Amino acid sequence: MTWLVFTVLSGIIVGGGLGVVTTRNVVHAALFLLVSLIGVAGFYVLLLSEFLAVVQIFIYVGAIVIVLLFGIMLTRSGEYPRIADNEQWPAAVLMGLGFFALLALALLTHPNLSDERNEINLSILGESLFTDWALPFEIASILLLIALVGAVVLAREDKKS
Amino acid sequence: MKGLDILILTATLFSVFTALSVAVLSLIWIERKLLGRLQRRLGPTRTGPFGLLQPVADGIKLIVKEDLVPSWADRIIFWTAPLLVIIPSFMIWVTIPISRNLVVENLDLGLFVIVALLVISILGLVLAGWGSANKYGALGSLRAAAQLVSYEVPLVLVVISVAVISGSMDLRVISAIQVPLDTAQPILDEARSNFSNFNHVGLPLIFIFPLGLVIFLLAGLAEVGRTPFDIYFAESEIVGGPFVEYSGAHWSVFFLAEYMNTFAVAALAGLLFLGGWYGPILPEWAWFLIKTYFFVVIIFWIRGTFPRLRIDQLMAFGWKVLMPLSLMAVITAAIYRFYEWPAWSLTLMSLSGLIVVGFAFYLKYTRPVLRLAKKYGHRPGGIRNVR
């Protein structure tokens, strides 16, 4: 049963990923990305970590894909459906292969995966986030703040000119 | 055994869907009647006693209507968009407890799951506007994305502060901490394995956290796109926004989802702030329905009373008023829990913020009128002063 679900989910994820890179329409690519990300959320459910699955849907589906579509729709109307060609694709291929190698390495060196259910204890999660992992948390917050301020500065009209 | 489980689950989901459809029909009837009364009309009278069959007639009309697809439309997106809107608003109801034990599947992270699912329907609206290849549709979906993403932030923050106050994300537990201890004890004991530090308040959160309820209702209204926050499909400006090219059954799917979401926001307000299913004498599901319909009527009342906001007013209100207020809600809730102050301290803290902001708003919107009245020698406050 688990094997079947895993196969179906993998098919969905890989199919969505292939769709993203092969389709010529940017909005369709965003939709395929959505399918792929939801498949990953399914993986998290299969791995018995529901919290991560909900976070995946919340962040990626709820925020990232919507902002992506928002950005696509704000670009010039005549061009946006068919700008899927990009000269950076060799770099993207390199990055993808490198990331795959990294993950494969991690999986091969740590093969002892358990199938026990990890209880989600939100109080422990919150405590470790604000004590042991406070520095990475703060760095991520500052990064987001910088992005926010940068966006405001870029979007602001210059009053003098 | 496996097959029987699946059969039972299917039957349950089917009955939930049926119950929701009936609730939506009742909502449509209440809205038509109430709006009629608020506008000194009678509302529907001809269809059945008190116009009770009006929603059924509306439904039949919508189904019989021809279903048009614009020739320029992107068909795949045009057909998937209504599904993306209706499925999450149905799935929310899986984890909403109607009474102490009447829930399809109680989840430990219920509140979080609901918020995450509410977010998906934004995507459906954006795709609906884009897929129908219409300028008004595209404008509407841009507005929808901007509005819903900005009002999601206060909604999430207020949900977080409710979770902080109660010490849980389980909707059964959140309503249990608001009822007297002898009723709540079994539920809290049962849920103790997942979360350990509950905070049993013993009275509905509206009394100790009124700020939260106000923010939740305002942000919830904006999330489901009810007046005064319905600018993304404003009929008089962009003729229906994302739904402009939809007709017949596909339009009615959006309509159904909107009313289901309204019902869900009202039910959540009842669960989070009025103690959900708890109440004297009547059975628990009846109290749940009473509290839900109480908020439904408030939502329709607001619709009948306030004019629509402009888009810049809407964004300014979201980011400059609701956002600081909801940050204040989180901080006061955290202070209350961390220092373990008595419950009235939170009432004081959250009410003071609400009153300051309300008074500032009152001044902002009455000052121009007062100035004019002074200039022309009218005393403000009534039509009898105007010559």
- Taking Cα atoms as reference points, which of A59, A69, A42 lies closest to residue B123? A69
Return the structure tokens found at B40: 């000194």
Residues in chain B with CB shorter than 8 Å from the CB of A121 are 194-195
Residue B383 gets which letter from DSSP? G
Q: Kindly tell me if the per-residue pLDDT of A139 is higher than 90.
A: yes
pLDDT grade, residue B382 (50/70/90)? low
Whether B141 sits inside 8 A of A73 (CB atoms) is: yes
How much is the average pLDDT of B147-162? 88
Residue B257: C-alpha distances to residues A147, B122, B124, B149 (Å)? 35, 12, 11, 18
Query: Is residue B275 left, alpha or beta, with left meaning phi > 0 and alpha meaning psi from -120 to 50?
Result: left
pLDDT digits (tens, 9 = 90+) for B309-344: 888 888 888 888 888 889 988 988 888 888 877 778
d(CA B238, CA B254): 17
pLDDT at B48 over 70: yes
The most confident of the ranges A23-32, A72-81, A104-113, B30-39 is B30-39
- Residue B386's pLDDT band (cuts 50, 70, 90): very low
pLDDT single digits (tens) A58-92: 888 878 888 888 777 776 555 554 555 567 778 88
Helix, strand or coil, per DSSP, at residue B45: coil
Q: What pLDDT is attached to residue A26?
A: 77
> Considering the entire predicted model, what is its pTM?
0.83
Looking at residue A83, what is its pLDDT?
A: 53
- pLDDT of A159 > 70? The answer is no
C-alpha span between A29 and A9 (Å, rounded): 19
Calpha distance A51→A48 (Å, rounded) = 9
Residue given tokens 């199938």 in the structure block: A115
Nearest to B97 by CA among B218, B254, B276: B276
Q: How far apart are the first and last CA of chain A?
A: 66
Share of chain B above pLDDT 70, in %: 95
**Across B345-351, average pLDDT:** 81
ipTM: 0.75
Q: What is the pLDDT of residue B387?
A: 45
Closest by Cβ to B194, choosing from A62, A67, A119: A119
Q: Say yes or no to pLDDT of A7 above 60.
A: yes
CA distances B297 to B72, B96, B252, B271, B274, Å, are: 41, 20, 22, 16, 15
Closest to A73 in 3D by CA, of B70, B239, B241, B131: B131
Q: In this structure, are residues B269 and B220 in contact, taking their beta carbons and an 8 Å threshold?
A: yes
A150 touches chain B (CB under 8 A): no
Query: Are the CB atoms for B111 and B162 separated by under 8 Å?
Result: yes
Residue A97 Cα, gap to closest chain B Cα (Å): 31
Encoding tokens for residue B385? Answer: 């002063």
Residue A152: pLDDT over 80: yes
Question: If you average pLDDT over residues B89-99, what whole number do you get?
Answer: 84
Taking CA atoms, B149 is separated from A70, B146, B304, B313, in Å, by: 11, 6, 25, 16
For B56-82, what is each residue's pLDDT tens digit? 888 888 888 877 777 777 777 888 888
A27 and B CB contact within 8 Å: yes
Spatial separation of the C-alpha atoms in residues B270 and B290, rounded to whole Å = 9
Structure token pair of residue B354: 């609400």
